[in-house]
Amino acid sequence: MRIIPAIDLIDGKCVRLTKGDYSTQKTYSENPLEVAKSFEGAGIEYLHLVDLDGAKSKHIVNHKVLEQIATKTNLKIDFGGGLKSDEDLKIAFESGAQQITGGSIAVNQPEKFESWIKTYGSERIILGADCKNEKIAINGWHEESDLEVTSFIQSFEEKNIKYVICTDISKDGMLQGPAFDLYAEILQTTPSIKLIASGGISNMDDFSRLKEIGCEGVILGKAIYENRISLKELESLLH
């Protein structure tokens, strides 16, 4: 199971929000590159980079930070937040993203999202299935759609999606454990997808439970920044 630390960006700084609420912003570092290097130093290979400014303004904003981390580390970066156009995608990939995540676009313009899967291949496009009360949330989590999370993922499994990041928004930043039951349900319904769990990771036991359920990867953020889980502990998981 892949361990994927997250860096969320606002104004080029490394921040965390609670439940996606911008008013809860807490800045952990002015230098995302240093944070990324510390992950790499612990033997971590992957990074989940989220452009929160992009999510708000509905187009890519922090691509310079992406480029900096991509050129100065060997981390394999998946990048998301506000990717709405073919041009946004082009910029993200040219700036060094290995994969991109699309959430709102998959809800609002499913044909466009499907065309990205066809153009770039299912190894490079991740479906962002973030939900609240098992309903898909969009536009930086400010709106709830009518789409039920498992059927939403199923509809894209039929269109060849391989990777899915699912965040239960009620768990995000709460440090009270992930949505184990939801992930088990998703993997029962769509066993062929590579499910990446996100939100609520609070201790080392969460990893073994998610691995047991069958998650392919785990994204964690606040647990690292609040020293609930040390990079040393993460390092021990990698060996």
For residue 233, pLDDT over 90 is answered with yes
What's residue 156's pLDDT? 97
The predicted pLDDT at position 153 comes to 98
Q: What percent of the chain has pLDDT over 70?
A: 100
What is the structure's pLDDT at 228? 95
Q: How far is CA 225 from CA 6, 14, 21, 131, in A?
A: 10, 10, 18, 24
Is position 146 annotated as part of the catalytic site?
no
- What are the pLDDT digits (tens) for 167-215? 999 998 888 999 999 999 999 999 999 999 999 999 999 999 999 999 9
Mean pLDDT of 59-65: 98
Residue 141: pLDDT band with limits 50, 70, 90? confident
What pLDDT is attached to residue 175? 86
| Model confidence band, residue 142 (pLDDT cutoffs 50, 70, 90) | confident
Is residue 139 predicted with pLDDT exceeding 90? Answer: no
How many domains does the structure of the chain reveal?
1
Q: For residue 192, what are the domain limits?
A: 2-237
* Catalytic site residue from 51, 53, 78, 130: 130
The CATH number of the domain holding residue 76 is 3.20.20.70
Task: Tell me if residue 168 is catalytic.
Answer: no
* Residue in 8, 51, 78, 168 annotated catalytic: 8
Residues 43-57 pLDDT 10s: 999 999 999 999 999
State residue 119's pLDDT score: 97
